[in-house]
Amino acid sequence: MTALPVPVQGSTVAVVPPQGSPGRPVGWWGMLVLIATEAVLFLGLLSSYFFLRAQAREWPLGGIKPPELTRISIFTVVLLASSVPLFWGEHAIARGRMRQLRVALLLSFVLGLAFIVNQGVEYRDLTFGWRDNAYASAFYVITGLHGLHVVVGLLMNLVVQLKAWKNRLSAERHLTVKLFSLYWHFVDVVWIFVFSSLYLSAHLR
């Protein structure tokens, strides 16, 4: 380390010992704001869904049956469960426990994957296409957009795992883990709303 004289006009720079936490990095704040806009996007979509519904005489439109509940409920639990290991993993890496982080990420990945596979199967079994009517369009676009978010999350998970396996993370430097888990929690929380609106509420008269 080289000491060098630098002109600082005026008086002294007194370096006071650190107090409190160093605060969150800007990347984290950026992700938070990004998530806020994403949340607005979903809010807009779900509001549109209810707007269309409020205008309709029957719902779903065109004799489509309300979506089946049992299986999706199970996979809702699966998706929500995938958030839990991440809390654990984050906690672990903050203490430098790389092994635990790897396990957590893997677990979360498997659960997320199961969810998306189920969504694929569900799409295959649906009796209507997205051109059929406004209900069908809304159903596909909303679940599809959420699915896209899950896929992106899975991809991020893979990258973080790779880094974990290659030991590119440490107790001090693991922003990726934080950002990824923030995002993943968001994707899970959004699902609660999507599920309640598209699946549960469709059974209400």
Partner 1 sequence: MTTIAQPSADAAQPVLPGEVEEAMERRWRDAPGIPGFFASVDHKKIGVRYMVTAFVFFFLAGVQALFLRAQLAQPDAHVVGPQAYNELFTMHGVTMIFLFNTPVLAGFGNYLLPLMLGTRDMAFPRLNAFSYWIFLFSGLFMYSSYLFGSPPDGGWFAYVPLTEKAYSPGLNLDFWALGVAFIGISTTVGAINFIVTAFKMRAPGMTLNRMPMFVWSILAMAFMVIFSVPIVTLASMLLEFDRLFGTKFFLAAAGGSALLYQHLFWFWGHPEVYILFVPATGMISMIIPTFSRRPLAGYVWVATSLVAISFISFGVWVHHMFATGMPALAMSFFSAASLLIAIPSGVQFFAWISTMWHGRVRWTTPMLFALGFLLIFLLGGITGVMVAVLPFDWQVTDSYFIVAHFHYVLNGAVVFPIFGALYYWVPKITGRLLSERLGKWSFWMMFVGFNVTFFPMHVLGLLGMPRRVWTYSAGLGWDGLNLLISIGSGVFALGTLLTVANLVWARRRGAPAGADPWDADSLEWSVSSPPPHWNFTTIPSVAGRHPLWEGAALDEHREALAGEDDAVESMGGAGALTRTTPITGGLDTRPERLLVVPRETYLPFVAALGVAAVFVGMLVDAALVGGVGVLLGAIGIVWWGWRTEEDLV
The whole-angstrom separation of Cα 81 and Cα 112 is 9
Toward partner 1, which CB reaches closer, 24 or 71? 24
Q: What are the structure tokens assigned to 100, written together?
A: 């635990």
The whole-angstrom separation of Cα 63 and Cα 133 is 11
For the chain, the maximum distance between any two Cα atoms, rounded to a whole number of angstroms, is 79
Find the binding residues for partner 1 in span 52-111 (CB under 8 A).
52, 55-56, 61-62
If phi > 0 it is left, if psi is from -120 to 50 it is alpha, else beta; for residue 133 that is beta
The whole-angstrom separation of Cα 67 and Cα 62 is 14
> Is residue 171 part of the contact set for partner 1 (CB under 8 A)?
no
Question: Least distance from C-beta 20 to partner 1, angstroms?
Answer: 8
**Which span (6-14, 68-76, 94-102, 120-128) binds partner 1, by CB under 8 A?**
6-14
Toward partner 1, which CB reaches closer, 75 or 190? 190
**Which span (49-57, 95-103, 116-124, 190-198) binds partner 1, by CB under 8 A?**
49-57
The residues, ordered by sequence, that sit 6+ positions from 109 with a Cβ below 8 Å of its Cβ are: 82, 154, 157, 158, 161
Sign of the CA dihedral running 119, 120, 123, 124: negative
**Which span (3-11, 75-83, 88-96, 188-196) binds partner 1, by CB under 8 A?**
3-11
Site residues for partner 1 per CB under 8 A: 1-20, 22-23, 25-27, 29-30, 33-34, 36-38, 40-41, 44-45, 48, 51-52, 55-56, 61-62, 130-138, 140-141, 152, 155-156, 158-160, 162-163, 168-169, 173-176, 179-180
